[in-house]
Structure 1
Amino acid sequence: MFDRLSAYAPQALAVLRIVTALLFIAHGTQKLFGFPVAAAGPTEGLMLIGGLLEVIGGLAVLVGFFTRPVSFVLGGMMAVAYFMFHFPASMFPQANGGDAAILFCFVFLYLVFAGPGAWSVNKK
């Protein structure tokens, strides 16, 4: 049974990449456009840079364009975001609201090694 499921690994990887990118883009549009919900604070400085990276990088990952290098940058950005904005509030992700940043970081780092999967502009 698992051999049959393994045949669909490239498609499953693509679904992971696409869903992650869509969620990431939504965080960027929240910061830049106040959509779907307005961001908690003003979008300036690092928040503006983060919003731009989330939208532009998220779009690149969505279509599978330079997935590996873009995911490397976005994974690093999420690590920095966690330690700059979430970790000082508490050591525990459930308490500091940083669980999404951790998940994004590790999914993007996985994409660095795994590549884009099926249905991408760049196949490797």
Structure 2
Amino acid sequence: MTERLNSAQPYALGLFRIVVGLVFALHGAASIFGILGGAAGTNGGTLDSGTWPGWYAAVIQVVAGTLVTLGLGTRAAAFLASGSMAYAYFKVHAPIGLGPSENGGEPAALFSWAFLLLVFTGSGAFGLDRLFARRAATRSRPAAEKTPVAA
């Protein structure tokens, strides 16, 4: 049983990356474009362009979330996303109260830790990072290794 679970790990990680990245990107898109209920506290509206820190956070959410979803530059995008959510937790939520359930910071805390995990694990399966790395490895092999030798 453990061997089966271990062999499925890259696929589970890839699906985790896709879901977390997509939810993050959609959260930012809601704030910028007013879709899916719009920005929190705006009755379905959008954040004013350039307002600190919400609008910038939403841009980071859309860009980093999309990159993580695609598995493109996963570690760097996840690092940026994790940091932005840590900032949101400590600057916006923590002053309200100590615990995440008390201060409304549960999503920020969970996103921060989920993205930090992706910084260390990488994209897993289904990521463009893996595809590009595989292509680069194939191109860098000497010609003798690329052509099969008849025995």
Q: Say whether the fold is shared (TM-score over 0.5).
A: yes
Equivalent-residue separation in structure 2 for 1:72 and 1:56 (angstroms): 13
Kindly report structure 1 stretches of 4+ aligned residues shifted beyond 4 Å. none
Matches within 5 A, 1:39-118: 39=39, 40-41=41-42, 42-43=47-48, 44-118=51-125
2:30 counterpart residue number: 30
Equivalent-residue separation in structure 1 for 2:82 and 2:73 (angstroms): 14
Equivalent-residue separation in structure 1 for 2:76 and 2:26 (angstroms): 21
> By how many angstroms is 1:3 displaced?
1.1
Amino acid at match of 2:26: A
2:140 counterpart residue number: none
The Cα offsets for residues 2-52 of structure 1, whole Å up to 9 and x where unpaired, read as: 111110100000011000011101210121011101211544221111111
Deviates more, 1:52-61 or 1:34-43: 34-43
1:3 counterpart residue number: 3
Amino acid at match of 1:34: G
Unpaired segments ≥5 residues, structure 1? none
Amino acid at match of 1:3: E
Matched residue count = 124
Structure of higher RCO (CA pairs closer than 8 Å, 6+ residues apart): 1
Equivalent-residue separation in structure 2 for 1:4 and 1:29 (angstroms): 37
Task: Quote the RMSD (CA, aligned, Å).
Answer: 1.2
Deviates more, 1:12-21 or 1:26-35: 26-35
Equivalent-residue separation in structure 1 for 2:85 and 2:91 (angstroms): 10
